[in-house]
Amino acid sequence: MPRRKSIWDIFDEFFREMEEEMRDFMERFERGFEIERGEERVFGPYVYGFSITIGPDGRPVIREFGNVRRIKGRPRISEEREPLVDVLEEKKTITVVAEMPGVDKDNIKIRVRDKTLIINAVGPDRKYYKEIPLPAKVRAESAKASYRNGVLEVKLEKEEEEEKGYEIKVE
């Protein structure tokens, strides 16, 4: 009978993957550039991080952020950074908090498409882009956003679900 994975097995597997990612990342970092279509493109600084939280189901949730992404198992450096994001769900609202220092609030664009919040920002030194899946449908017209000290906060009202049912007449 196969043994069930414990939380420590999950962390061991995660850290093994992180070691491999760091080896690949350091190899690319030492080269200092990426060759695309025959031309050199220099990116920097390299930003990579992750946060680990425990989800409502008791399982760890690992979120990555920065401008180093894994594509087909290999790290790729991008001009756009993924901000560190938290999604907080309450009874009637969803609040999304994104850390995006170094941009002006006038250069931040926010859109809602289906159950996805899309954040795009361009500053003099950095660019941010993130598509955030939302836990419920929201009313886009209810959105309110504020940006202070490099932290973007977007509050959205949940779309009220209609109760599906039928009235039955008594004869």
Q: Domain coordinates of the chain in residue numbers?
A: 1-78, 83-161
Using alpha carbons, list the distances in angstroms from residue 59 to 118, 141, 148, 162: 26, 33, 32, 31
Query: Is omega for the bond preceding 45 within 30 degrees of 0, making it cis?
Result: yes
Alpha carbons 42 and 35: distance in angstroms, whole number? 9
Looking from the CA of 122 toward its CB, the CA atoms found within 13 Å total 1
Q: Which fold has domain 83-161?
A: Immunoglobulin-like (2.60.40)
How many residues belong to the chain? Answer: 171
The series of mean pLDDT values per 10 residues for the chain, 171 residues long, is 72 84 74 51 69 81 78 75 90 93 92 92 89 91 92 92 58 59
Strand partners, 95: 88, 155
Q: Which of 20, 14, 91 has the alpha carbon at shortest distance from 51?
A: 14
Which pLDDT value is given to residue 36?
47
Predicted confidence at residue 33, as pLDDT, reads 47
Contact 96, 154 (CB under 8 A): yes
Q: What is the pTM of this model?
A: 0.63
Task: Give residue 60's pLDDT.
Answer: 86
Residue 151 is encoded by which pair of tokens? 């932290």
What is the rounded CA–CA span in Å between residue 25 and residue 64? 15
* β 93-99/127-133 pair status: unpaired
